[in-house]
Amino acid sequence: MERLRTPGAMRAWADARRAEGARIGLVPTMGYLHEGHVSLVRIAKARGCGAVAATIFVNPTQFGPGEDFEKYPRDEARDLAMLDAAGVDAVYLPGVRDMYPEGHQTFVDVTGVSQGLCGAARPGHFRGVATVVAKLFLAAKPHVAVFGEKDYQQLAVIRAMNRDLDFGIEIVGASIVREEDGLAMSSRNAYLAGDHRVAARCLSRGLFRAKELFGKGERDAAALVAEARAAIEGEPRAKLEYAEGRDPVTLSPRSGRVDAVTILVSAKVGPARLIDNITLGN
Ligand code: AMP
């Protein structure tokens, strides 16, 4: 597995793989890897990518003031071992100064789909995400890029950017990988200990209840969302940030009778801000 630390090194690797005729798959991450990340690598391989690059970069521009940029968990040695074991061909680990040298002044702003949900709770977050992903796309020149549905709004932002800026990359969404008790895997779960770890189940519990209701024939968006919200509001250690029903593709708000809906939730549990979602009817 090659280790690349600058945009120039990433580009040279990508050019060489393209010259060989390889199909390049890209898996962007912020590190502190878990099975969810590894599943993205597997998906890239299953999509016929003979050259898979993963990136590890805790991107400062997507963190707001007072958020956890400094505290974000990091373990490069463990991450490299996991990526190597997963059969990744190259890992791109740029430093902050490599990505944002003195004088950096260009940002990518995806408008509509960045608004609301996490975009409301974290102003500027998706601008940082779109900018860094655009930079990763330009350096790694992938044919395919894989992103988790765990970050459902992020996936929609990247799909919009890819379309609007003509990147021409195949964007693949990957199912959420969960712990045995339902909690969506996340690097930020490292912040959860004891009671908070138990309390964190309320996000997925509510979503699964909504799924059960949907299975029994409930089609009213508000009733389905209410189920997800009630599970979080019923957990004293959790503080609900949002629970909303959105169109699975456009992410526009849905109310009334729905054939398909994505329910997205966010809550603070102790020191961790957690998100989760489920798509019903697709
Ligand atoms: P992160 O390192 O948290 O920025 O995540 C990197 C990529 O892994 C993103 O595309 C995430 O959506 C994806 N991801 C994170 N957690 C999961 C999970 N539990 N299941 C599937 N994909 C995930």
Q: What's residue 179's pLDDT?
A: 98
The whole-number pLDDT of residue 167 equals 98
Which atom of ligand 1 lies nearest, measured to the CA of 148? 12
Query: Could you give the domains of the chain?
Result: 2-174 (3.40.50.620), 187-281 (3.30.1300.10)
Nearest atom of ligand 1 to the alpha carbon of 185: 19
- pLDDT (tens digit per residue) in 172-226: 999 999 999 999 999 999 999 999 999 999 999 999 999 999 999 999 999 999 9
Out of 30, 32, 34, 40, mutate this one to test ligand 1's pocket (max ligand atoms within 8 Å of CB): namely 40
Mean pLDDT of all residues belonging to the chain: 98
pLDDT tens digits, residue range 93-130? 999 999 999 999 999 999 999 999 999 999 999 999 99
Q: What is the reported pLDDT for 282?
A: 73
Mean pLDDT calculated for residue range 51-64: 98
DSSP 101: -
Instruction: Answer yes or no: pTM beyond 0.85.
Output: yes
Q: What's the mean pLDDT in 262-277?
A: 98
Which residues form the pocket of ligand 1, taking CB atoms under 6 Å from any ligand atom? 29-30, 36-37, 39-40, 147-148, 150-151, 174, 176-177, 184-187
CA distances (Å), 205 to each of 93, 225, 233, 262, 268, in order? 36, 12, 12, 15, 15
Known catalytic residue at 143: no
Residues 192-205 have pLDDT tens digits of 999 999 999 999 99
Q: For residue 164, is pLDDT > 80?
A: yes
Contacts of 246 (CB under 8 A, 6+ apart): 117, 252, 253, 254, 261, 262, 263, 264
